[in-house]
């Protein structure tokens, strides 16, 4: 029976709504992998309160420095471990063992070192490229989505990496914040466009 005929039979009263199934007002939406990554990065704020680049002999796999300290790469490593159980220490070390010539030799390395390789920005950048996670660098804010990874060059030719946040700037509408350790522990800041961007990556867990 079509809607018009039903209304006529009911004396013109609109009773169609009563014939429809009840729909709950609350919709449960499973988190996406980018949102899970962002939340895992944000959870480090207030926990990691120091920047400490000291070389430390780590357990392998799953090795980490004390949670109150670390460098920019540790924010990324910890976020992927917490969100997905992905161990970039192990993933990168295995790839370096099999393809050592593909990775930078800026530190005079003659063999992979699982204590430090994954904590170096250029190595992570090569790994993400090899996993086909690289994206073009753009000046459009919308090109940078929550969970994206961006490498930067800080003053003094210091390499850096950040995770794009789900929050945006209060000063420039639409400009994404980033989660990082840029010198004083994990923090959420408006510095995505403050420094030279050298790489943009979208590394989904499935790409590992």
Assign domain 31-207 to a CATH class.
Answer: alpha beta
Is residue 175 classed exposed, middle or buried when 0-12, 13-18 and 19+ CB atoms within 10 A define those classes?
middle
Report pTM: 0.85
Strand partners, 159: 153
C-alpha 68/C-alpha 122 separation (Å) is 24
Indicate the pLDDT class of residue 31, thresholds 50, 70 and 90.
Answer: confident
Average pLDDT, the chain: 89
Q: Where in the chain are the domains?
A: 31-207
Indicate the pLDDT class of residue 8, thresholds 50, 70 and 90.
Answer: very low
pLDDT, one tens digit per residue, over 101-123 is 999 999 998 999 999 999 999 99
CA end-to-end distance (rounded Å), the chain: 54
pLDDT, one tens digit per residue, over 118-129 is 999 999 999 999
Q: What percent of the chain has pLDDT over 70?
A: 86
CB 187 within 8 A of CB 45: yes
Q: What percent of the chain has pLDDT over 90?
A: 83
DSSP H or E segment with residue 130: helix 121-130
pLDDT at 77 over 60: yes
What average pLDDT does this structure show over 43-48?
98
C-alpha 171/C-alpha 174 separation (Å) is 9
Indicate the pLDDT class of residue 171, thresholds 50, 70 and 90.
Answer: very high
What average pLDDT does this structure show over 67-74?
98
Count of C-beta atoms within a 10 Å radius of residue 44:
23
**What integer pLDDT is reported at residue 13 of this predicted model?**
34
pLDDT at 140 over 90: yes
């Amino acid at each position: 029976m079509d809607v018009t005929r039903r209304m006529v039979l009911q004396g013109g009263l609109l009773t169609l709504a009563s014939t429809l199934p009840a729909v709950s007002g609350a919709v449960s939406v499973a988190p996406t992998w980018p949102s899970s990554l962002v939340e895992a990065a944000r959870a480090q704020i207030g926990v990691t309160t120091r920047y400490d680049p000291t070389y430390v002999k780590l357990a392998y796999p799953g090795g980490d420095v004390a949670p109150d300290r670390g460098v920019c790469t540790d924010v990324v490593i910890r976020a992927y471990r917490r969100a997905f159980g992905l161990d970039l220490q192990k993933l990168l070390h295995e790839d370096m063992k099999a393809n050592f010539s593909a990775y930078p030799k800026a530190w005079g390395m003659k063999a992979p070192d699982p204590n430090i390789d994954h904590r170096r920005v250029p190595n992570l950048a090569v790994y993400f490229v090899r996993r086909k996670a690289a994206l073009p660098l753009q000046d459009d804010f919308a090109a940078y989505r929550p969970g994206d990874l961006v490498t930067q060059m800080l003053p003094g030719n210091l390499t850096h990496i950040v995770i794009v946040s789900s929050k945006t700037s209060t000063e420039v509408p639409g400009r994404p914040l980033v989660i990082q350790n840029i010198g004083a522990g994990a923090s959420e800041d408006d510095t995505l466009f403050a420094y030279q961007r050298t790489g943009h990556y979208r590394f989904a867990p499935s790409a590992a």
